[in-house]
Amino acid sequence: MSAETLPRATVRASGAWVRVAVAMFAVGWGANQFSPMLIVYRHELGLGAGAVAGLFVIYAVTLIPGLLIGGPASDRLGRRAVVLPFVALSPLATLLLVLGPRSLPMIAAGRALAGLCSGVVFGSATAWVQELSHGSGLSTRRAALALTAGFGLGPVVAAVLAQWAGDPLVVPYLPHLVIGCAALAIVWPAPATAAQRTAGRRRWPPHAARTLRFWLTVAPVAPIVFGSVSVAIVVLPEEVTSARTLSVGFAGLMTALAFIAGVTVQPFARRLETRWPYAASAGGLACAAAGAAVSIAAVTSDGRTLAEAGAVLLGLAYGLCLVSGLRRAELLAGPGDRGAVVACYLALSYVGFGTAYAVAGLNSVVGRAGAFVALAATAAALTVWMAWQSRRALVGPRAGDSAPAVDKGELESTWQG
């Protein structure tokens, strides 16, 4: 019996979405395990700042096209047909890092392939989880939790192994080889969902991503998702230890704090977003502003405790904004372009990884503290904007307002085609 003819209750009862979530977890692990390893490569291979930045950028260069191509492709061809090949390629990307631990071209190739796998899988699999959940209010949280768990555990385990296990260029990658292969076996029996067939040629970007509502309420918040994380796990560990030897273990601790906070807050974020539109976004932005403010004190005093507090606040910003953004993208999308809309949202989210480079650039102009002051001010301004949007969504626009308000009933049901 094909997945298209399976009764919805049967698919839901089988917990098929769990299989897809495991695949997202594994690919997320492979994507982010590299973050603390940048410190190892800098030390072991004597790489300069430019080479290290290049290895980081290569991932984003292939990830964003993967998102923008994979999401629409899964709308047309079906989620399973698009996701499975790239779940299989994810451990291969890690294998390249294992086979060429001191070869810059091999490392670059591994990162490029990892970025492509991440881009294709994240958008398509998020839509797949939502479809296998069949309108459950938990669908957004399930997808966000799978991504966050992989993003968080991957670098933490890699940092611990790099710090205390032998051969720090190889051993940290071995767990993902096992997890990636196991995830492929687990997701393989997951039922397909029907490809969405529409008459005529599809326009790109999808309709939802061309609406005023998307660009006024979803797009401004999206970069904060990974922007907050990049500050917590890349910028702060380097800034507060600049006068001492940078510890891979400390970078792992900062990653753990940020992602534990991000996971913990997600159930609350879903409930908050359901009751008050955009409130989770506003709350996440407020946490980002507070985290940047605490970071000002951390970088001026080289205080690790303050940096850890900043990582927690920035992790809360990540969790709140991610759940809110995925929820808004799900509500704005139609059944025929869900993968494309989620991919557009995630692509904008990954722009936030450029925050680490923005901070580095601002440091040379306004100093270490000045860069974080700029981040705090930006997040605070966005908080005011989203709080206003939340109020308008609840009470309706005033006469003369041109921006669209959100229908309160939209939060209680998914889009109906």
CATH number of the domain encompassing residue 62: 1.20.1250.20
Count the domains in the chain.
Answer: 2
Output the 3-class SS for 389-416. HHHHHHHCCCCCCCCCCCCHHHHHCCCC
The answer as to whether 201 is a domain residue is no
From residue 290, how far is each of 222, 311, 317, 367, 403 by CA, in Å? Answer: 18, 10, 9, 19, 28
Q: What pLDDT was estimated at residue 107?
A: 93
Considering 140, 156, 190, which residue would you say is the last residue of a domain?
190
Same domain, 217 and 176: no
Q: What pLDDT was estimated at residue 256?
A: 86
Q: What pLDDT was estimated at residue 202?
A: 60
Rounded Cα–Cα distance for residues 18 and 2 (Å): 19
- Reading the block at residue 141, the tokens are 């949280």
The answer as to whether 408 is a domain residue is no
Same domain, 248 and 319: yes
**pLDDT tens column, 206-219:** 888 888 889 998 99
Q: What pLDDT was estimated at residue 196?
A: 59
The answer as to whether 410 is a domain residue is no
Rounded Cα–Cα distance for residues 257 and 250 (Å): 11
The answer as to whether 403 is a domain residue is no
Same domain, 158 and 266: no
Low pLDDT (below 70) residues in the chain: 1-14, 49-50, 53, 135-137, 194-203, 241-247, 360, 364, 395-417
The answer as to whether 406 is a domain residue is no
Q: What pLDDT was estimated at residue 346?
A: 85
Q: Helix, strand, coil: what percent of the chain each, to 5?
A: 80, 0, 20
Same domain, 216 and 324: yes
The answer as to whether 404 is a domain residue is no
Q: What pLDDT was estimated at residue 415?
A: 32
Same domain, 236 and 143: no
Same domain, 137 and 225: no
Q: What pLDDT was estimated at residue 327?
A: 86
Q: What pLDDT was estimated at residue 61?
A: 84
Same domain, 255 and 162: no
Q: What pLDDT was estimated at residue 403?
A: 42
Q: What pLDDT was estimated at residue 417?
A: 29
The C-alpha angle 141, 143, 146, rounded to 5 degrees, equals 105
Q: What pLDDT was estimated at residue 285?
A: 95
The answer as to whether 402 is a domain residue is no
Q: What pLDDT was estimated at residue 400?
A: 44
The DSSP code sequence of 66-119 is: HHHHHHHHHHHH-HHHHHHHHHHHHHHHHHHHHH-TT-HHHHHHHHHHHHHHHH
Same domain, 156 and 267: no
Range of the domain at 183: 8-190
Same domain, 290 and 168: no
Q: What single letter denotes the amino acid at residue 150?
A: G
Same domain, 184 and 211: no
Residue with the two structure tokens 């940290």 = 172
Same domain, 340 and 284: yes
The answer as to whether 196 is a domain residue is no
**pLDDT tens column, 245-283:** 456 778 788 888 998 898 889 888 888 888 888 999 999
Handedness of CA 184, 185, 188, 189 (dihedral sign): negative
Question: Which of helix, strand or coil describes residue 190?
Answer: coil
Same domain, 215 and 169: no
Considering 136, 158, 190, which residue would you say is the last residue of a domain?
190
